[in-house]
Structure 1
Amino acid sequence: MTISQQIYSVSALNQQIKNLLEQEFVSLLLEAEISNLTKASSGHWYFSLKDAQSQVKCAMFKGSNRFVQFAPENGKQVLVRANVSLYKPRGEYQLIVESMQPAGIGQLQQQFEALKLKLSAEGLFDSQTKQSLPKDIQKIGLITSAKGAAIHDILSIMARLAPNIEVIIYPCLVQGEQACAHICKMIEIANQNTSLDLLVVSRGGGSIEDLWAFNQEPIAYTIHYSRLPVISAVGHETDITIADLVADIRAATPSAAAEMVCQSSLRQKNQLPRLTTQLKMNAERHISRYQNQLNRLELRLNQQDPVKQMLNRQQWLDETLHQLNQYLQNNLKTKTNKLARLQQRLLENHPKYRLQSAHQKQIQMRQKLHQAMHDHYKRYYNQHLVLTEKLQAYSPLSTLSRGYSATFDEQGNSIQSSRDVTIGQTIKTRLADGKITSQIKDIEF
């Protein structure tokens, strides 16, 4: 062992091995026999899986084993999906089981997993390719068995929650060798109906064999290339089919699919009282505003009635003519003089002369501003000169320029007395034009 080699602790070694195992062996399928099964009070299961030559310890936690639909027991052959891990305290590797089912359906499960990997690699499960549900759903296509429980559940829920949504039924086989082709054909036919908003592909629960029509490649491509958005509602909540993975939306059950479809209608129904109240308030507010505008316009119309205005003007004109005729002779000279004064005032207030006066005033104000700025500048300049002279008078440099000097020790401290230095000490002397470094050879007191 060289010094450069890393020295592990047992915990660090187990952690690194755990990380390697969990990264390398993910979601593998294993078919084997159960042994040493223990169901802990916590709800977790601990057991071993074995064949004729080997065995491996396993743990299946409560969150996963609650979906197991049969009673596991020692000696039973099962097919499990698991991740490889390591239990650090004992340094033992084990399987963390995610799902378990009887081994008899292992072949179908392997076909399912192979197709799932193939379609995933082609991007058929990507969320970017999936369509959203329309906001306003008026008509849907229902592709399911005409005699199954799924059609009854969907129609009864929609009749109760959204009777306004029309349902077009495309009956088809949902089980057996011909079911997959029949379902695909109904999806293609429904896509030709331009009045539909979306499709629901559904059937009730069952075993993996019962649901196998929905786990085949043709139905995956047919759903993927559907023009209409597709909701897949196949089986129970724990049943996951290829159709569920490819569909735009997966519903846990047929009933859940019906409730999804009804959501837009329910939202509109719930908003109706609020929208009605809001519409009424807006109408009343508009009516009130237009009524006020109408009242103001009527008042203005009455005030500006041409007949009334003309009569008022005529009366005023008659009175003015009467006064003019009565006093014309006596006040002719006064009026003439007044007219002359008014003409003079009009001339004085002519825009041309007022503009000239304003321009002249502007010139004067500009001159005053320039003069004031010059005076301020001159005053502050003089103050600056005085302060500069004072600063120069108090400056140590001024004193040095008159032949004086200042002496400092090596630390830069000012030397005020001959007692502050010793023979052999280096000192620095500051003159007006530079510095002198010297060494003391003699001290006189």
Structure 2
Amino acid sequence: MPPDTDGVLTVSQLNRRVGDLLSSHFSRIWVRGEVSNFTQAASGHWYFSVKDEGAAVRAVMFRGRAQAVGFVPKPGEKFEFRVNVTLYEPRGDYQVQVESLRRAGRGDLHEAFLILKDKLEAEGLFDPARKRPVKALPQAIGVVTSLAAAALRDVLSALARRAPHVSVIIYPAPVQGLDAAGRLNQALQQAIQRNEVDTLLLVRGGGSLEDLWSFNDEALARTIAASPIPVISGVGHETDFTIADFVADVRAPTPTAAAELCCRSRQSCTSAVDAALATLAARQMRNLERSALRLDRAVALLVSPQQRLRQQGERLQTLVQRLAQAPARPHEARAARLAMLSARLTHASPRPAGLRSDVAAQARRLAAELERGLERRQQRLAASMQTLQALNPHKILERGYAIVRKDNGEVVKNALDLNVGESLNVELGRGSVRVSVAHTHGLL
């Protein structure tokens, strides 16, 4: 809406121009301040104020951008906000629309962390396929950390409780400070070169992003990735993540958890040994029982020498008796066989007279049966002929009946189906005639 001819603006025109001015000169700028009066609406939008010691400004962060933050700001926390300055025209109030936020003082470090993380992830250093398995029963464990760190005491205490039989070698290095990353890398390389442990623990306690920054070093990350010895990282608390955590073969939420993950506890080992011994004893007992059963069966089959001599003596006496009777037996057997063969020969000798009589009798019976069968078939044939003659339609026509058909061959059954003047074929007992319908009369 243009101004009046006298150059006077309306309030709406003024607010619109001020809003355009703010949007064009204060677009996507960073503002540092403290969150206050924070409200999360049902729609998901965030409404709050950003303030410092001397001033405050209203702010809004719409749902789509708020969901990308990953956490909910708390009143009193300080952040750096990336904002667009706008004007709410109906009231003339100006406010900031927040696009993103980061914790105050951590923005540059966090951005460097994300850049390095993306770079190493693109190179495949975070790929689970390249991670090395951790030995469950190591002989020695190496710990890379500061000698003064509370994390070292936690690790040693946990290992003394869980696995006092495992040797622990410490590779000291500062975990915080300007040269901490390089010293950690040197200690880790020394442990790899000496190759005297089965697993390496890289640990330190919790702290801010700045405190943990030594574990976000690229050189340290590459040494961890190239290590032939499995590396477990236990840096900070459970919510803390460093580049070392992503590259390590196993990430533990705390130093104590790293000590618990690096080996099986003595109690679990002894329990496994006890279970294996119990299983071995049970199997040995089953083997002994099966052997005892086989022994019992073998004993049952075993014959004493005295019994075997007695059995052989009895068999010898039987053979002597059979030998004494042997001369008479062949003659008796031959005589019996001759008598049997004579009886079979007599029974099998042919009797011509009797056979001829049997054949004649069988022939007579066969002739009589054929005669009776022929007579029965002739009777059935005559009955069938009579039935066929009775059912012959020509016989019916000879008694004075007729079959009336239309020109298409259809048999006429009802006079009402005919039309006057229609030609019909009438089949009689002898011959046929062609007639024309002069009159129709139906029967009710």
The aligned amino acid for 1:187 is L
Q: Which residue in the other structure is 1:258 paired with?
A: 259
* Contact preservation (8 Å) 2:150, 2:205: yes
Pair 1:81–1:310, CA change in 2 (3 A): farther
Query: Structure 1 CA distance, aligned partners of 2:29 and 2:284?
Result: 67
The aligned amino acid for 2:315 is W
Query: Structure 1 CA distance, aligned partners of 2:211 and 2:329?
Result: 122
Query: Structure 1 CA distance, aligned partners of 2:338 and 2:169?
Result: 98
In the TM superposition, residue 227 of structure 1 has moved relative to its aligned partner by 0.9
Q: Which residue in the other structure is 1:238 paired with?
A: 239
- Give secondary structure in 2 for the equivalent of 1:192: helix
Q: Which residue in the other structure is 2:332 paired with?
A: 334
Q: Which residue in the other structure is 1:57 paired with?
A: 60
Give yes or no for the alignment of 1:142 onto 2:143: yes
Give yes or no for the alignment of 1:37 onto 2:37: yes
In the TM superposition, residue 255 of structure 1 has moved relative to its aligned partner by 1.0
In the TM superposition, residue 221 of structure 1 has moved relative to its aligned partner by 0.6
Pair 1:339–1:226, CA change in 2 (3 A): farther
Query: Structure 2 CA distance, aligned partners of 1:314 and 1:130?
Result: 82
In the TM superposition, residue 201 of structure 1 has moved relative to its aligned partner by 0.4
1:186-233: per-residue Cα shift (whole Å, max 9, x none)? 222222344532211001112222211111111111111111221111
Q: Which residue in the other structure is 1:315 paired with?
A: 314
The aligned amino acid for 1:191 is I
Which stretches of structure 1, 4 residues or longer, exceed 6 Å deviation after superposition? 338-341, 403-407, 416-422
Q: Relative to structure 2, which stretch is displaced further, 29-38 or 203-212? A: 29-38
> 5+ unaligned residues in a row in structure 1: which ranges?
1-27, 83-91, 342-402, 408-415, 423-443
Query: Structure 2 CA distance, aligned partners of 1:175 and 1:406?
Result: 120
- Give secondary structure in 2 for the equivalent of 1:140: strand
> 5+ unaligned residues in a row in structure 2: which ranges?
1-27, 84-94, 340-405, 420-439
**RMSD over equivalenced CA pairs, Å:** 4.6
* Map 1:21-420 → 2, pairs under 5 A: 32-34=32-34, 36-38=36-38, 46-48=47-49, 56-58=59-61, 65=71, 72-73=75-76, 77-79=78-80, 101=103, 103-194=104-195, 196-263=197-264, 267-300=268-301, 302-303=302-303, 308-309=307-308, 311-322=310-321, 324-325=323-324, 327-328=325-326, 330-331=328-329, 333-334=331-332
* Contact preservation (8 Å) 1:30, 1:81: yes
The aligned amino acid for 1:238 is T
* Contact preservation (8 Å) 2:232, 2:262: no
1:146-197: per-residue Cα shift (whole Å, max 9, x none)? 2211111111112112223332221212112222122112222222344532
* Contact preservation (8 Å) 1:37, 1:45: no
* Contact preservation (8 Å) 1:220, 1:243: yes
Pair 1:329–1:156, CA change in 2 (3 A): same
Pair 1:111–1:340, CA change in 2 (3 A): farther
Pair 1:317–1:81, CA change in 2 (3 A): farther
Query: Structure 2 CA distance, aligned partners of 1:162 and 1:31?
Result: 53
Query: Structure 2 CA distance, aligned partners of 1:177 and 1:228?
Result: 27
Query: Structure 1 CA distance, aligned partners of 2:417 and 2:284?
Result: 100
Query: Structure 2 CA distance, aligned partners of 1:130 and 1:275?
Result: 31
The aligned amino acid for 2:122 is A
Query: Structure 1 CA distance, aligned partners of 2:278 and 2:203?
Result: 40
Q: What TM-score results when the alignment is normalised by the length of structure 2?
A: 0.57
The aligned amino acid for 1:33 is G
In the TM superposition, residue 265 of structure 1 has moved relative to its aligned partner by 5.5
The aligned amino acid for 1:144 is T
* Contact preservation (8 Å) 1:31, 1:77: no
The aligned amino acid for 1:324 is L
- Give secondary structure in 2 for the equivalent of 1:169: strand
* Contact preservation (8 Å) 1:204, 1:254: yes
Q: Which residue in the other structure is 1:432 paired with?
A: none
In the TM superposition, residue 324 of structure 1 has moved relative to its aligned partner by 3.2
Query: Structure 1 CA distance, aligned partners of 2:292 and 2:407?
Result: 98
- Give secondary structure in 2 for the equivalent of 1:104: coil
